[in-house]
Amino acid sequence: MTNHQFPRIVIDTNKLSSNIITMMNTCAAAGITVSGVVKGTNGLPGVIKTFINSGMKNLASSRISQLKIIKEIDSTVHTLALRIPMVSELEELVQYADCSLNSSLLTLKELETVCQKLNIKHEVLLMNDLGDLREGFFDTEELIEAALFVENQCSHLSLKGIGTNLGCYGSIEPDQTNLGQLIENAREIENRIGRELEWVSGGATTSIQLVLNHTMPKGITHLRIGDGIYLRDMELYFDYTFDEMYDDAFFIQGEVIEIHEKPSYPIGTISVDAFGNKPKYDDLGIRKRALVGMGRQDIGDMTKMIPIDKNVNIIGGSSDHTILDITDSKNNYQIGDVLSFLIQYENLLYSCSSEYVYKHYI
């Protein structure tokens, strides 16, 4: 791969490794094991190898194909399947996932049957919906019933623990109340089965603030973290800073393909854009605008990126273009110049998954 291919996502493996080690050490000091989530980077082998070389023993993804890559790179790494499994994929799942999230008694029964057939021992983490309303048992008694089923009636399933997800759908913030309920449910299950659960999994990146602020309830022993290792974008939305982490382990670069002075307000009858949205526009008069050759198909919502040049503003874009206002920049940008952008999780997810975005390791 040549160095002049754009758009590209730049992956600084030294900074990524530092972030991985910092996160592991910070959580370990609070008695918490981390499973590093590689889904947000599309399971890129270079990223997986950086995790492993940095000492991460537990990796996770919602995609079985990515778990397979992990096992091909290092079969000793513990793999966690993050998405509730489809019955149709169970045979493939248990070959590459050491553990999976589950929230249905029916699926657990099918999973036991498959594991018996293949003579595979498989761990399960039962999910408890505490209000975010995505996956998980909502009724506590159903959760306990499932735990007892796995513990007492499944010869090929092992109850790893229970967990919850907060923030991904319902935008519910993890706190001492909802995570306290998870711990209370875990204690009840432990009393019923007569042993401790290895993992009480208190969520994902949105739970990091509790660790940093020393308010994580005692009893949470596991977190599933991807975004918080890759980026610092959650600090824009939550009340914490993690200054030991790099915010530019990943960044995006795009090439300028047009520069013109144009009105800032569209001319004609405004309808909808290419995605069925009806944006609002501010009339700022004539402005110097630059087009960059990357768009939503490559990077998702381009307005979530942060230009390294603080005097450049992202106006919007389309599937193939990002539109910038460069009027106030001190740089005399020309066609062919390359601009760099810090990114948020959506941009990371899209760019790592797109075949049209080059992956450049430094």
Please give the single-letter amino acid code of residue 13: T
Cα distances from 246 to residues 92, 241, 274, 302, 343, in angstroms, run 36, 11, 35, 21, 12
Q: How many of the other CB atoms lie within 10 Å of CB of 151?
A: 16
Which residue among 15, 39, 280, 359 is the active-site one?
39
- Using a 10 angstrom Cβ sphere, with 0-12 exposed, 13-18 middle and 19 or more buried, the burial of residue 260 is exposed
Helix (H, G, I), strand (E, B) or coil at 360: strand
Residue type for position 46: G
CA dist 314 and 341 (Å) reads 10
39 catalytic per annotation: yes
What letter does residue 128 receive in the DSSP assignment?
Answer: B
Q: What is the dihedral of CA 167, 173, 179, 180, to 10 degrees?
A: -160
Q: Which residue has the tokens 């998405």?
A: 83
Distance (Å, rounded) from C-alpha 201 to C-alpha 100?
A: 12
Distances (CA, A) of 23 to 34, 236, 354: 8, 18, 27
> Under a CB-based contact definition with an 8 Å cutoff, are residues 276 and 318 in contact?
no
Is the dihedral angle over the CA atoms 221, 63, 353, 69 positive or is it negative? Answer: positive
Tell me which residue has tokens 């505490």: 130
Burial 3-41 (b: 16+ CB within 10 A, else e): eeebbbbbbbbebbbbbbebbbebbeeeebbbbbbbbbb
* 17 Cβ contact partners less than 8 Å away, ≥ 6 residues apart: 50, 53, 54
Concatenating the DSSP letter of every residue in 270-320 gives ----TTS---------EEEEEEES--HHHHS-GGG-EESSTT-EEEEE-SS
Residues designated as active site: 39
